[in-house]
A and B are shown apart, each in its own frame.
Chain A
């Protein structure tokens, strides 16, 4: 009996130690998040307030050598590219998800699913390089050929909003597909069966019953895609031209080279002096706020869903 007691004690001590260690580990993500928030805001916020928040956000000139820091063109660039990438990528992604879950024969699923996983795994610089060589070339031919008379010279390089949109649409596809597929799969079978029993066709059932029932999950997938698109950096730098200017309003804007918030940070951080660096961190704060808003929306959606 004595032996048993000692062993119990030893086990209890081990249990207690393990529990403390695991608890400390569990704090890692909240500590990281706290540190990131603190460092980014601490470096960027005083500058933003000192410079003037409205001047910083709505200023249209970015010229660090003259100490002029207006990031409005970058905000416009990020927002435009993200919106159009979603408009292109989301319908395709949702369609693929519906196809995979409800229509595809197992033989096809076996090919498409790993393909999507692989697409997700391809490094963004590789997709960027592909875009920089193949997609840019096609757009350049278009801009210098049939459209040459209508476009300003600066819009004929191929590096453009259009290229950025196409690249981002490709990059958000896997996210949108896998998350909407999950939510489509979660639709109770009874819904479908009831609809089919009423004599609707398979397509009517999918379009009028299954997809609406999976609506909140699909919306969450799209919003997550928005987050990925606005945060993407490397591939977008490689194809979008990076010039700090507002695109001229009209269809020509499709061919306009622009810069995104992420691109601004990645391109200039390497050589920035102290004030310039603070301005880049302030750019990071704006990006950060976008991400927090996007994530809060997903959180709200999920609350409503459950």
Chain B
């Protein structure tokens, strides 16, 4: 017979209340940290942002003038990386999911993808520096947007592969089997049934990969050259917004101008996050109807 102790109940209740308060405080702290960073950077950055800041070339190492070449560099880089990485990444995930039988080689490929994702971006940068900048320098232009982009492709591939695999896996197998039972080829089924249904997930993964590229610095620090000048082609050196922020903050110590670039970056990331969510909803509605 268990003795009924009213005090015990009170204590247990109090314990629960204390624990729940602590847990919600942890969540509140996380949100607060985010808000602190976002608002501080925006408040500091907005004071230097103007049309001139966005559309002019930097003067005196970026302590005066604008960030236009860095914007152009970022756009070039993102475009090139997605152009190369998205087809390869989606292709890989299709092969792994739809063609390849389970087995040792498949798990080796998966493990390689995971390890590639775990490699710190500075090591990607070192590799890109040796391989794309130096070894292939005659073809890539040495420190250039192209070298940076190829390095970025290696870095971003596992992210796209993993996310589109998830999207492909979410396609119900009875739809696939139904299509195959009608006598279509596997590729036809993939084109007409699997890809349209997986499209929302794949698109979101690509957009989030864009966000990752915009935020990345270490991999490009050693490969893209950091030139302040406007890039005329992908064989020229350039800098991205994130790299510009870093170089301005660390080399000139002009924190105010760095905050300006930081505010632009935060706005971009916000737009990308919203776009990913909105596009996902839109595509789901369109293709699942």
On A, residues with C-beta under 8 Å from B are 11-12, 14-15, 18-19, 21-23, 25-30, 32-33, 35-36, 39-40, 43, 91-92, 95-96, 98-100, 103-104, 108, 111-112, 114-119, 121-130, 132-134, 170, 173, 177, 201-204, 206-207, 224, 227, 230-234, 237-238, 262, 265-266, 269-270, 280-281, 284, 287-288, 291-292, 294-295, 299
Which residues from B are CB-within-8-Å of A238? Answer: 246, 249-250
> Contact: A26 with B249, CB < 8 Å?
no
How far apart are the CA atoms of A27 and B255 in the complex, in Å? 44
> Contact: A201 with B122, CB < 8 Å?
no
Given contacts A35-B131, A36-B123, A95-B22, contact A29 B272 (CB under 8 A): no
- B154-168 interface with A by 8 A CB criterion: 154, 157-158, 161
Per-residue CB contact flags for chain B residues 21-62 toward chain A (1 = under 8 Å, else 0) read 011101101110111111011001000000000000000000
How far apart are the CA atoms of A299 and B245 in the complex, in Å? 37
Name the contact of B185 in the complex, choosing from A12, A23, A112, A123 (C-beta under 8 A): A12
> Contact: A130 with B30, CB < 8 Å?
no
How far apart are the CA atoms of A40 and B120 in the complex, in Å? 13
On B, residues with C-beta under 8 Å from A are 12-13, 15-16, 19-20, 22-24, 26-27, 29-31, 33-38, 40-41, 44, 87-88, 91-92, 94-96, 99-100, 108-109, 111-116, 118-127, 129-131, 154, 157-158, 161, 185-188, 208, 211, 214-218, 221-222, 242-243, 245-246, 249-250, 255, 258-259, 262, 265-266, 269-270, 272-273, 277
> Contact: B26 with A99, CB < 8 Å?
yes
Which residues from B are CB-within-8-Å of A126? Answer: 37, 41, 215, 242, 245, 262, 265-266
Q: A11-B188, A33-B116, A116-B34 are in contact. List 5 more A-B contacts (CB 8 A).
A: A115-B35, A121-B211, A128-B249, A295-B114, A295-B115
Which residues from B are CB-within-8-Å of A237? Answer: 250
Interface centre among B27, B115, B131, B154, by most chain A C-beta atoms within 10 angstroms, is B27
> Contact: B31 with A111, CB < 8 Å?
yes
How far apart are the CA atoms of A22 and B214 in the complex, in Å? 28
Return the 8 tightest CB-CB contacts between A and B, nearest first. A231-B120, A123-B215, A25-B91, A95-B26, A203-B16, A22-B95, A26-B95, A99-B23
Which residues from A are CB-within-8-Å of B119? Answer: 33, 36, 231, 288, 291
Which residues from A are CB-within-8-Å of B266? Answer: 122, 126
Q: List 9 A-B contacts (CB under 8 A).
A: A22-B91, A23-B95, A26-B92, A39-B126, A112-B31, A126-B215, A132-B249, A203-B15, A280-B126
> Contact: B23 with A103, CB < 8 Å?
yes
How far apart are the CA atoms of A205 and B26 in the complex, in Å? 19
> Contact: B30 with A116, CB < 8 Å?
yes
Name the contact of A43 in the complex, choosing from B38, B130, B217 (C-beta under 8 A): B130
Which residues from A are CB-within-8-Å of B29? Answer: 92
Nearest neighbor of B246 in chain A, beta-carbon distance: A125
Which residues from A are CB-within-8-Å of B19? Answer: 203, 206-207
How far apart are the CA atoms of A22 and B99 in the complex, in Å? 9
CB distance from B21 to the nearest CB of A (A): 10
How far apart are the CA atoms of A163 and B91 in the complex, in Å? 42
> Contact: B95 with A115, CB < 8 Å?
no
CB distance from B257 to the nearest CB of A (A): 11
Name the contact of A103 in the complex, choosing from B24, B36, B120 (C-beta under 8 A): B24
> Contact: A201 with B273, CB < 8 Å?
no
Which residues from B are CB-within-8-Å of A35? Answer: 127, 131
> Contact: B242 with A125, CB < 8 Å?
yes
> Contact: A19 with B99, CB < 8 Å?
yes
> Contact: A129 with B31, CB < 8 Å?
no
> Contact: A14 with B185, CB < 8 Å?
yes
How far apart are the CA atoms of A203 and B12 in the complex, in Å? 9
Name the contact of B158 in the complex, choosing from A29, A112, A281 (C-beta under 8 A): A29
Nearest neighbor of A102 in chain B, beta-carbon distance: B23
Which residues from B are CB-within-8-Å of A224? Answer: 118
Name the contact of A40 in the complex, choosing from B24, B92, B126 (C-beta under 8 A): B126
Which residues from B are CB-within-8-Å of A177? Answer: 30
How far apart are the CA atoms of A266 and B129 in the complex, in Å? 12
Which residues from A are CB-within-8-Å of B269? Answer: 118, 121-123
> Contact: A30 with B112, CB < 8 Å?
yes
Which residues from A are CB-within-8-Å of B22? Answer: 95
How far apart are the CA atoms of A123 and B249 in the complex, in Å? 14
Which residues from A are CB-within-8-Å of B16? Answer: 201-204
> Contact: B23 with A98, CB < 8 Å?
yes
Nearest neighbor of B90 in chain A, beta-carbon distance: A25
Name the contact of A262 in the complex, choosing from B13, B108, B218 (C-beta under 8 A): B218
